[in-house]
């Protein structure tokens, strides 16, 4: 466990954000014919030569009110329409290949499938979206601007549900950023791999931004700033010997990644 994280107020904060969801990725095997997975099955790319055969599913069942967050990485204006999102009570492992070409209508015309199109203007490259199913069985979507819309209702909640994505039309590449379930003051987040750290430090946009960090620097680092927020003093000593995080960022890094951002040494 990290040093200097024993204050009662820190422990209280830690208890609020350390309740994890299982890692959320795309299912590694059950994918459409034109799909290529990468980045630990978090990135999906469909061939630009077609608008269909881009079906993918979550690797595990998702919870009611679990908000699934993704980013559109690339679009291709040659085609009309954009991605479809939804849920299914049919486990990906029980499906046979090849998958249907389209979520709508080929899957939605069969029992246990609910999907709806997302408008093209919300699916431009760089757009971030969240979608989830509510306690009443409604499918909702929201974007980074705070716009929220109900896409459909009637999702059956008596059985486990998997998220399903149809990388369709103009949408040809998406990145799964993780998920979060909010219950009062408690947030449960899915564990994600280290590259998701860029979502914590908004000022960084690529792996090249980490180039200035020296992973062999194990000095106390007095006077150095936190490598995540680039603002507060780095005053938390990690088990690996790096003093590279402020107290607030150390809580978030421990909760979401459990590894040093410099050398990836485990923090547990």
* Rounded Cα–Cα distance for residues 158 and 250 (Å): 39
**String of b and e for 81-116 (b: at least 16 CB within 10 Å)?**
bbbbbbbbbbbbeebeeebbbbbbeebbeeebbbbb
> CA 187 to CA 152: how far, in whole Å?
25
**Preceding peptide of 77 cis, ω within 30°:** no
97 and 163 in contact (C-beta within 8 Å)? no
**36 burial class (0-12, 13-18, 19+ CB within 10 angstroms)?**
exposed
> Residue 55 is inside which H or E element, if any?
strand 55-62
Q: What pLDDT shows up at residue 7?
A: 41
- Set out the domains of the chain in order of their start, with CATH numbers: 8-18+194-256 (no CATH), 23-190 (2.60.120.920)
Walk along the chain (268 residues) and give the pLDDT tens digit of each residue. Answer: 444 444 444 444 443 444 566 889 999 999 999 999 999 899 999 998 999 999 999 999 999 999 999 999 999 988 999 999 999 999 999 999 999 999 999 999 999 999 999 999 899 999 999 999 999 999 999 988 888 999 999 999 999 999 999 999 999 999 999 998 876 556 667 765 333 333 443 333 333 333 333 333 334 334 478 887 777 888 888 888 888 888 888 887 877 777 888 777 777 6
């Amino acid at each position: 466990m990290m040093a200097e994280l024993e204050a009662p107020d820190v422990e209280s904060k830690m208890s609020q954000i350390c309740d994890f969801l299982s890692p959320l990725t795309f299912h590694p095997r059950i994918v459409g014919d034109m799909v290529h997975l990468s980045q630990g099955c978090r990135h999906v790319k469909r061939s630009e030569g077609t608008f269909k055969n881009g079906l993918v599913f979550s690797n595990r069942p998702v919870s009611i009110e679990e908000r699934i967050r993704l980013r559109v990485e690339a679009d291709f204006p040659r085609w009309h329409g954009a991605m479809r999102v939804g849920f299914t009570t049919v486990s990906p492992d029980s499906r046979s290949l090849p998958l249907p070409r389209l979520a709508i209508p080929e899957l939605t015309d069969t029992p246990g499938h609910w999907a709806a199109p997302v408008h093209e203007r919300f699916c431009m490259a760089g757009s971030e979206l969240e979608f989830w199913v509510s306690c009443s069985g409604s499918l909702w979507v929201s974007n980074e601007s705070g716009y929220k819309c109900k896409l459909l209702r009637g999702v059956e909640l008596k059985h486990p549900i998997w998220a399903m994505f149809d990388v369709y039309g103009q949408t040809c590449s998406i990145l799964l950023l993780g998920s979060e379930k909010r219950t009062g003051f408690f947030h449960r987040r899915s564990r994600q791999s280290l590259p998701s750290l860029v979502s914590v430090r908004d000022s960084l946009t690529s792996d090249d931004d980490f180039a200035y960090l020296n992973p062999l620097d194990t000095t106390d680092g007095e006077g150095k700033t936190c490598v995540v927020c680039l603002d507060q003093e780095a005053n938390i000593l990690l088990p690996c010997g790096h003093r590279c995080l402020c107290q607030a960022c150390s809580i978030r890094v421990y909760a979401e990644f459990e590894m040093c951002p410099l050398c990836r040494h485990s923090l547990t």
